[in-house]
Amino acid sequence: MHIAFLLHNAYGIGGTIRTTFTLAGTLAERHDVEIVSVFRHRREPALGAPPGVTLRHLLDLRRGSPGYDGADPGHTRPARVFPRGDGRWRQYSRLTDARIGACLKSLEADVVIGTRPGLNVHIARQARRGPVRVGQEHLTLDSHGYRLRREIAHRYALLDAVTTVTEADARAYRTRLRLPEVRIEAVPNGVPAPAAAPADGDSPWVVAAGRLLRVKRHDLLVNAFAKVVAARPDWRLRIYGGGDATGDERDALLALIARLGLHDHVHLMGPVHPMEPEWARGSIAAVTSDRESFGMTIVEAMRCGLPVVSTDCPHGPREIIEDGVDGLLVPVGDEGAIAGALLALINDDGLRRRAGAAALKASGRFDPARIAERHEALFTELAARGGRHRPRSVLRDAVHRSRGSVLDAAYALRYRAAGLVRGGRAV
């Protein structure tokens, strides 16, 4: 099969880029795979191009390059196809509308895959008839605003399939949106086996990783670790990850560490790549988020042989961790429960090592080869049916490809009827 991924910016750094590269590189072992990056802002991909995958771009934003597109008048005009509800809308333009549309109409692929809602909408509206059209959800339906959810409900009707990274999110797509003719499958992200040897469980370190954003609740972890230190002052906590755009969260965490007198016990390590050697230096991983779209850090830690203490937040942790076997789940926002779970593993060397070994074994189900096989099976089944296998009238096709402004009110009423809007606001 010829498989094409449409990606926002293959030259940047981010979870969607990393997981797309992993999947594309694994599929390329048996298929002809390409990644079409809408934007290019540097010479080489920051994460390194996946082996065996063709990489090309549609807009060159490298100032001084011969193909620089940033000064094109069309790039100053707002996009009309890329939906306003997608958080990247301001980066798109009439020029991107045209370039993406031309690419999709000329693309000789058996399967074309979008990697964010705005690009999934492009595929639904602009891809030629024939290839299997798949929209990937790397976040969650609930994380999108009402405007984007309405767009998804309308435009995704022309896709063949939507894949989510958790079964919980797949259920949300099946029950909250009326897409009866669209295949909705949960397929988790693949995480490669680390090159480093797994952790031995002997070092007195707890490790956490993730951007220093409020939703990650590193403050909760620091407060919980103060209780750990009171009982086991020989243990330390390392938190890896870059700050937010303002640096406010990092400053707040530093102030909290100072106020609790934990400067010898809690360390903000900054961003590190690759992360695998840092996981392997620890003995326990901690995730204290209010919500997760999947939980990549959980799987990464488990692949390095660490048991994970995690909040039982939506959507991913419960689908990854077997509570009491390869990790411990605790209520969201409960610093006492977090401290208690950490101390349960810290104080019982045998339990910690058994849980670490179980985590290492269980994480094998996220091996990229296994995940690629699941995607491949879906693509093969849909391709065998002829891509757009469902009968579709020309009129209905045109309705879903059009701007659809006439139908906005109807879709708003649908959401109100489904209880997703109250008093004019999305819920």
Which pLDDT tens digit goes with each residue over 352-395? Answer: 999 999 999 999 999 999 999 999 999 999 999 875 444 444 44
Is residue 195 domain-resident? no
Q: Is the pLDDT of residue 427 over 60?
A: no
Find the largest Cα–Cα distance for the chain.
70
Local structure of residue 45 (DSSP, 8 states): -
Q: Which of 224, 300, 306, 215 is nearest to 265 (CA)?
A: 224
Average pLDDT over residues 198-211: 96
Residues 290 and 387 in one domain: no
Q: Give the integer Cα–Cα distance in Å for 98 and 400.
A: 18
Report how far residue 163's alpha carbon sits from residue 170's, in angstroms, rounded to the nearest whole number: 8
Contacts of 271 (CB under 8 A, 6+ apart): 240, 241, 242
Q: Please give the Cα distance from 53 to 32 (Å, whole number).
A: 8
Average pLDDT for 283-297: 96
**82 confidence band (pLDDT: 50, 70, 90):** very high
Q: What is the CATH number of the domain that holds 261?
A: 3.40.50.2000
Please check whether residue 198 lies inside any domain of the structure: no
The answer to whether 160 and 182 have CB atoms below 8 angstroms apart is: yes
| 170 in the same domain as 225 | no
Range of the domain at 40: 2-190+371-426
Q: What is the pLDDT of residue 402?
A: 56
Does residue 180 carry a pLDDT above 60? yes
Predicted confidence at residue 420, as pLDDT, reads: 37
For residue 288, is pLDDT > 60? yes
Separation between Cα atoms, residue 20 and residue 259, nearest integer Å? 41
Q: Where are the alpha helices (DSSP H) in 156-289?
A: 167-176, 218-231, 248-259, 276-280
Question: What is the overall mean pLDDT for the chain?
Answer: 91
Total tally of structural domains belonging to the chain: 2
Average pLDDT for residues 326-332, to the nearest whole number? 98
pLDDT at 405 over 50: no
Judge if 311 and 417 occupy the same domain: no
- Arithmetic mean of pLDDT, 91-115: 97
Name every residue whose Cβ is closer than 8 Å to that of residue 255 and which is 6 or more positions away in sequence. none
pLDDT at site 274: 87
- Cα–Cα distance, 148 to 86 (Å, whole number): 6
Flag whether 403 is in a domain.
yes
pLDDT digits (tens, 9 = 90+) for 132-162: 999 999 999 999 999 999 999 999 999 999 9
Higher pLDDT: 397 or 92? It is: 92
Tell whether 170 and 274 lie within a shared domain.
no
Same domain for 54 and 73, yes or no, is yes
Answer whether the bond into residue 274 is a cis peptide, omega within 30°. Answer: yes
Whether 177 has a pLDDT exceeding 70, the answer reads: yes
Residues 213 and 338 in one domain: yes
User: Which pLDDT score, from 0 to 100, does residue 207 have?
Assistant: 98
On whether residue 199 sits in a domain, the answer given is: no
Rounded CA separation 62/257 (Å): 41
Strands 425-426 and 421-422, bridge-based pairing: antiparallel
pLDDT at 408: 36
What is the predicted pLDDT for the residue at 46?
92
pLDDT for 29 equals 98
**Residue 376 within a domain:** yes
Average confidence (pLDDT) over 264-281: 94
Q: Between 274 and 325, whose confidence is greater?
A: 325
292 neighbors 316 (Cβ within 8 angstroms): yes
Residue 284 host element (H or E): strand 284-287
Q: What is the pLDDT of residue 34?
A: 98
Whether the pLDDT of residue 418 is over 60: the answer is no
37 and 186 both lie in a single domain: yes
